[in-house]
Amino acid sequence: MNRHGALLFLISAVAASAAPKDRVVGFLTDLVRLDTTNPPGNETRVARYLKQVADANGISCELLGANPARLNFVARLKGSGNARPLLLVAHSDVVPADRTQWTVDPFAALTKNGVIYGRGTEDDKSLLAAELAVLVELKKSNVQLNRDVILVSESDEEAGSSGMTWLIENAYPKIDAEFALNEFSYSIDTPSGVRIFQIQTAEKIPTRIKLNARGTAGHGSLPRADNPVVHLARAVTRLADADEPVALNATTRRYFEEMSRIADYAWLKPLLPKLENPALSIAAANQLRERDPDFSAMLRTTVSPTMLQAGVKINVIPNAAQAQLDVRRLPTETKEEVYERFRKIVNDRQVEIEPAGGQEQPATEPSSLTSPLYRAMEKVFLASSPNSRVVPFLMRATTDGAYLRAKGMAVYGVPLFRREGELRMHGNDERISIENLQSGTELLLKIVVESTK
């Protein structure tokens, strides 16, 4: 064992003997220091660390995957078998960090004023550390479980979910469960003191596109009507400015109804009937966008231009120009419906719309609001704070949970951690407070125990 491996083993051994809230700090610190930037990933670094911890605590586990450098970790605590398993999911990879834009080393797990800084502290190593701490606690405390508890740390969530899809295709019996806890959600505190726990039960679907404009090359001194840059610019602007149609589903309808009952969001109440009225829904959604862009994004497909490519020289009109747009469609509409609507909005025969590539995630129904796991979360969250509310939540982005939902598994983004100001996942100086990490871990332990009674 090299010096680094010995150090991690020592830290793990110390953490394993501590209380869950102290244990999780050591786990997160270790995990952040294992650089699993994707690409290339190297998630086996984390998988081996997790196996080291599991082995030290007598927890059955294995490493699985096709790429030796990008292995998944699967561990299982056996229960009585009276109910189907509970799956705890987190991913081990992180997005790149531009070190020139950070005030600290993004992989040093530096703690300042009670806050841990580092890539992955929000997305998603904090959840992985909490799940590992809970699994160790269940084992050490010999908690009697009526169902197995499975922990999966998967590779490559950030760039295609190849880890999860490999597990589903090649080892699904090892992860098959009645329901799962996963990212992404958080609780928020309102100015009036209400804590809102947002349980993610549905996700939008990435439908990324390319706009390809074609024309005739020529000298820049003579403007051309078929200049592809001009046609592309108009198409991008039309799509970005278009008011997409509004649609509610079971999750968003319940979400807005519950939120409107909270004093801080009473302004929502008169807008709700308008959202159900096709003649008024777009104007109502635009009003929501002015107050809270997140609300509007839950109601409609969104379009964000992100990449442009054209030309080789400033005085040459090019033959072609291309834009890439990050489109997140509602689960209530199909890809074909989105493409047809976009073609009508662009309304330009010089501009073609095509898929931007990448893996396409399945459209699924929202997870149940009456499952034993959802009820367990409700019970724990409502008991955790004297003035708290629990609401189902549609995530404007997406996770690997979509593939599990497509298999019939109810998947929930669990709001263990409070939103601490601006969300910094994928951003600079990503961080989480130790208090937030510890309290979230305690909530997770209560949820798992409650759902496995």
145-170: per-residue pLDDT in tens? 999 999 999 999 998 889 999 999 99
Provide the pLDDT for residue 148: 98
Separation of alpha carbons 35 and 107, rounded Å:
6
Q: How do residues 35-55 score in pLDDT, each as one tens digit?
A: 999 999 999 999 999 999 999
Cβ atoms of 46 and 36 within 8 Å: the answer is yes
Provide the pLDDT for residue 1: 45
Whether 441 shows a pLDDT value over 80: the answer reads yes
Q: Say how far residue 324 (Cα) sits from the centre of its chain.
A: 22
The average pLDDT across 218-237 equals 97
H helix or E strand, kind and range, residue 321: strand 320-329
Provide the pLDDT for residue 18: 63
Provide the pLDDT for residue 386: 86
Angstrom CA distances, 440 to 259, 361, 389, 430, stand at: 22, 29, 16, 17
Q: What is the dihedral of CA 11, 16, 18, 24, to 10 degrees?
A: 70
Cβ atoms of 412 and 201 within 8 Å: the answer is yes
Whether 9 shows a pLDDT value over 50: the answer reads no
Cβ contacts of 372 within 8 Å, gap of 6 or more: 83, 178, 179, 451
Whether 221 shows a pLDDT value over 80: the answer reads yes
Separation of alpha carbons 327 and 199, rounded Å:
23
Kindly report the average pLDDT of the chain as a whole number: 94
Query: How many C-beta atoms surround the C-beta of residue 276 within 10 A?
Result: 12
Least Cα distance to 186 among 127, 132, 133, 137 occurs for 127
Separation of alpha carbons 50 and 13, rounded Å:
12
Separation of alpha carbons 46 and 35, rounded Å:
9
Separation of alpha carbons 177 and 181, rounded Å:
11
The average pLDDT across 349-356 equals 96
pLDDT band at 131 (very low <50, low <70, confident <90, very high): very high
Q: How do residues 357-398 score in pLDDT, each as one tens digit?
A: 877 788 888 999 999 999 999 999 999 988 999 999 999 888
Q: How do residues 262-310 score in pLDDT, each as one tens digit?
A: 999 999 999 999 999 999 999 999 999 999 999 999 999 999 999 999 9
Cβ atoms of 106 and 122 within 8 Å: the answer is no
Sequential DSSP letters for 70-139: S-EEEEEE---SSS--EEEEEE--B----GGG-SS-TTS--EETTEEESTTTTTTHHHHHHHHHHHHHHH
Whether 12 shows a pLDDT value over 90: the answer reads no
Query: How many C-beta atoms surround the C-beta of residue 222 within 10 A?
Result: 7
Least Cα distance to 434 among 79, 136, 41, 26 occurs for 26
β-partners of residue 60 are 76
Percent of the chain exceeding pLDDT 70 equals 96
Provide the pLDDT for residue 287: 96
Whether 16 shows a pLDDT value over 90: the answer reads no
Least Cα distance to 24 among 448, 430, 435, 441 occurs for 441
Angstrom CA distances, 197 to 89, 182, 383, 452, stand at: 19, 15, 12, 21
Separation of alpha carbons 63 and 174, rounded Å:
11
For residue 305, the one-letter residue type is: P
Q: Say how far residue 366 (Cα) sits from the centre of its chain.
A: 15
Cβ atoms of 46 and 126 within 8 Å: the answer is no
Separation of alpha carbons 308 and 327, rounded Å:
15
Q: How do residues 91-111 score in pLDDT, each as one tens digit?
A: 999 999 999 999 999 999 999
Least Cα distance to 56 among 128, 148, 129, 140 occurs for 140
